[in-house]
């Protein structure tokens, strides 16, 4: 599985140090959580911080947009270094169009779904979706408890991907740790996001290595 540590739990006063640590770790991607205080009840950071990360990051930047009207900002996030851009199903009236827009920019297109959103709603867009960011907590905050129904949703999504001959990656975001990682892998997850579990550890680098070994 690919491991994508979330910089939401990094030390923002020492962001360059933490990005350098990720460069030298076994992390595959950098997960970047953008929150607008409207789509989610929290504000994290936006374009200037992404640009700052881009200057140091040596790995793909996986940008998770928890914002309303993401179609207005995808080009700016591409310019700020995004390789993957995920928009929320719940925030997109014209999701099909927004996915095309992301691909036309040369980025990989992702759809994020809240815990209450059934995976069956992705059937019509799955062939245009490079990544599904399945929320295993309600978006907005790090350090929340993993929602157990996620395993079932992964299995259902895998079935949709196979049935449509798509090559979509399944990413799990929220409450990931070494206890649930093997179960997520067995259910069919391809990418694990981990924020507080990595940055709250005595050695974030060793924790990433341990997740990578699962």
Q: Which does 175 bind (CB under 5 to 8 A by kind): Zn ion, ligand DX5, none?
A: ligand DX5
Chain centroid to CA 100: how far? 19
Contact segment (CB under 6 A) with ligand DX5 among 15-23, 98-106, 138-146, 157-165 equals 138-146
* Residue 36 touching Zn ion (CB under 5 A): no
Measured in whole angstroms, the distance separating CA 158 from the mean position of its chain's CA atoms is 17
Residue at token pair 């060793």: 206
Among candidate residues 33, 36, 62, 190, the one labeled active-site is: 33
Q: Write the CB contacts of 159 (distance below 8 Å, at least 6 apart in sequence).
A: none
Distance CA(16)–CA(14), nearest Å, equals 6
Contacting ligand DX5 (CB under 6 A), which of 98, 101, 129, 196? 196
The residue (of 150 and 168) whose beta carbon lies closer to ligand DX5 is: 150
Single out the catalytic residue among 36, 62, 130, 173. Answer: 173
Contact 38, 67 (CB under 8 A): yes
Please report how many Cα atoms fall inside a 13 Å half-sphere around the Cα of residue 184, on the Cβ side. Answer: 31
Q: For residue 58, give the 3-state DSSP assignment.
A: coil
**Smallest gap from residue 6 Cβ to ligand DX5 (A):** 3
Residues in region 87-116 near ligand DX5 by CB under 6 A: none
Which residue lies nearer to ligand DX5 by CB, 130 or 171?
171
Contact region with ligand DX5 (CB under 6 A), list: 67-75, 95-103, 154-162, 191-199: 191-199
Known catalytic residue: 33?
yes
Q: Map residue 207 onto helix, strand or coil.
A: helix
Report the 10 Å Cβ neighbour count for 198: 31
Stretch near Zn ion under the rule CB under 5 A, chosen from 12-20, 38-46, 61-69, 199-207? 61-69
Cα–Cα distance, 65 to 214 (Å, whole number): 28
Q: Which of 28, 130, 173, 190 binds Zn ion (CB under 5 A)?
A: 173
Give the residue with the Cβ less far from ligand DX5, 164 or 205.
205
Cβ neighbours around 62 below 10 Å, total: 28
> Going by C-beta distance under 8 Å and a sequence separation of 6 or more, which residues neighbour residue 104?
none
Does residue 79 have an active-site annotation?
A: no
* Residue 5 makes contact with ligand DX5 by CB under 6 A: no
Q: Residues interacting with Zn ion, by CB under 5 A? A: 33, 64, 173
Which residues lie near ligand DX5 (CB under 6 A)? 6, 8-9, 31, 33, 64, 137, 139-140, 142-144, 173-176, 193-197
């Amino acid at each position: 599985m690919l491991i994508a540590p979330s910089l939401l739990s990094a030390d923002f006063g020492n962001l360059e140090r933490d990005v350098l640590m990720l460069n030298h770790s076994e992390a595959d991607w950098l997960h970047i959580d953008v929150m607008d205080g409207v789509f989610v009840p929290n504000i994290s950071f936006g374009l200037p911080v992404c640009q700052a990360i881009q200057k140091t990051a040596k790995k793909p930047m996986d940008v998770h947009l928890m914002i309303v009207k993401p179609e207005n900002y995808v080009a700016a996030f591409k310019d700020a270094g995004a390789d993957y851009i995920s928009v929320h199903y719940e925030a997109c009236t014209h999701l099909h169009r927004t996915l095309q827009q992301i691909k036309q920019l040369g980025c990989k297109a992702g759809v994020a779904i809240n815990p209450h959103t059934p995976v069956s709603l992705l059937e019509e867009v799955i062939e245009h979706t490079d990544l599904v960011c399945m929320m295993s907590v309600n978006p907005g905050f790090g350090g929340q408890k993993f929602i157990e129904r996620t395993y079932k949703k992964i299995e259902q999504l895998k079935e949709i991907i196979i049935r449509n001959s798509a090559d979509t990656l399944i990413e799990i975001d929220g409450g990931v740790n070494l206890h649930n990682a093997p179960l997520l892998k067995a259910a069919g997850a391809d990418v694990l996001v981990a924020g507080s579990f990595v940055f709250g550890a005595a050695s974030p680098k060793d924790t990433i290595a341990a997740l990578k070994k699962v």
